[in-house]
Amino acid sequence: MSRDVDVGVILAHQAASGAYPASPSFSQYPHAWLRDGSFVAYAMDRAGEHASAARFHAWVARTVLAFEREVEDLVAGAASGIVPDEFGFLPARYGVDGSWRQDGWPNFQLDGYGHWLWSLGEHVRLARTPPLGRDLGRAADLVGRYLGAFWHEPCYDAWEEFRSQLHTATLASVHGGLRALAEMRGDDAAARTGRDIAGFVHDECVSEGRFVKHVRNPAVDASLLWLSTPFGLVSERDPLMRATVAEIERVLVVDGGLMRYAADTFYGGGAWVLLTAWLGWYHARSGDAARARACLDWVEAQRDAAGSLPEQVPTSRSHARFLRHWTERWGAVATPLLWSHAMTIVLRLELEGLPVPTGAAAR
């Protein structure tokens, strides 16, 4: 299917504020996660929809700056050894109007703020925009100070789980964001902290020759793909990364799609569309067009009659009891998930620059 379909889904659901709701028709996902939205904005920049991405980044800047005083207090407190309580940190998700949704959701995640800085840097590069204006610059600097103060604080992972851990993919996300900030703003402190994080990951998040889910947990998680693609803590061809991807594929690829992690039970623990596209993105960047196209073929097979892509689909290993539990509690799985459409755009565009493998049809 043409990427125009995926671009159309995203544009149709972008809020007037510029925010990208995660899945507008799903009961739990009408809000805007910085995590999802940052990758959606990146996909739109890759597709040439720079105005859409710019509206998102302007929304993030307005939203963050509305809490500037709170962030400055948090950073100042951290310098004195003060750690806020669970709901004192900035949230992972906001209302599309920029409101802070203080509703008990597991909201303390640092990865989305790193994602946003990285995505903003990619917007500057891809849209060839001038240096950041006043509000974007202030917001980026503020987020950079926040991440610098708390990167070593245990928080929820990308899936809003495991609050008490230091997660490898989260650390890579913060590293990628701070490196982007250093490039955009000449921020030496951000560059130093990014290097510190990379050193920490190599010291504490490696076991048996590969990266691990979080400190002292030897399992793998699909989000470990982020270490190389796109955050560049290591390259796609780094031996540690190759070994990590080999283990991810051995443990987490089921029926052609990629699970989040082996013990996942959310909606039965299915295969995620966006993560399978991400695996394809990794393979495309490492030069393996055949495996990247196989991922795209699997993704395309998950569309519904309207062309929408879900968050995940059941597999032969899904747990029936948990699939039933979540369906009865929240309804059918989120569809469309804008992040799924975004990663499909990215994978298609990565493949455009690669030769078609022998025996594969051009798309």
183, 121 contact by CB (below 8 A): yes
Catalytic residue among 6, 36, 187, 311: 311
Catalytic residue among 70, 73, 141, 160: 160
CB within 8 Å of 165: residues ≥ 6 apart:
154, 157, 214, 215, 217
Distance CA 205, CA 218 (A): 9
CA 226 to each of CA 8, 118, 217, 340: distance values in angstroms, whole numbers, following the listed order: 26, 12, 18, 16
Cβ atoms of 348 and 7 within 8 Å: the answer is: no
Please classify residue 2 by burial: count the beta carbons closer than 10 Å to its beta carbon, then call 0-12 exposed, 13-18 middle and 19+ buried: exposed
**Of 45, 122, 157, 247, which one is the catalytic site residue?**
157
Residue 267 structure tokens = 């909606």
List the structure tokens of 4.
């125009």
Pairing of strands 253-254, 210-211: unpaired
Q: Is 311 a catalytic residue?
A: yes
Catalytic residues: 157, 160, 311
